Amino acid sequence: MLLILSGCKETSTEEVFKPQIDKYLAFWNTGNLAGVENVLCQDFQIREVPDFKPAEGIESFKKEMQQLHSMGFWLKLDEVIYADSTVTVRWTCGVTYPDNTGTPKIPVQGRGISLLHFRDGKIHDEWLAYDNKSWMGQLGYKMVK
pTM of the model: 0.84
Q: Does 17 score more than 90 pLDDT? A: yes
Better-predicted residue by pLDDT, 24 or 105: 24
How many Å apart are CA 30 and CA 114, to the nearest integer?
19
Which residues does 125 contact at the CB level (< 8 Å), separation at least 6? 44, 45, 46, 47, 54, 116, 117
Question: What's the confidence (pLDDT) of residue 140?
Answer: 84
**Regarding beta strands 122-130 and 104-119, do their DSSP bridges make them parallel or antiparallel, or are they unpaired?**
antiparallel
pLDDT confidence tier of residue 91, bands split at 50, 70 and 90: very high
Give CA separation, 135 vs 26, 70, 83, 88, 106, in Å: 23, 18, 30, 22, 11
Q: What is the pLDDT confidence band of residue 9, given thresholds at 50, 70 and 90?
A: low
Nearest to 116 by CA among 106, 126, 108: 126
In tens, the pLDDT along 32-71 reads 999 999 999 999 999 998 889 999 999 999 999 998 888 8
Antiparallel, parallel or unpaired: β 54-56 and 74-83: unpaired
With pLDDT > 90 as the criterion, what percentage of the chain qualifies? 62
13-32+39-138 belongs to which CATH class? alpha beta
* Cα separation, 104 vs 98, whole angstroms: 4
Task: In whole angstroms, give the CA distance from residue 33 to residue 55.
Answer: 17
pLDDT of residue 13: 85
Beta bridge partners of 96: 107
Express each pLDDT in 108-138 by its tens digit: 999 999 999 999 999 999 999 998 888 888 8
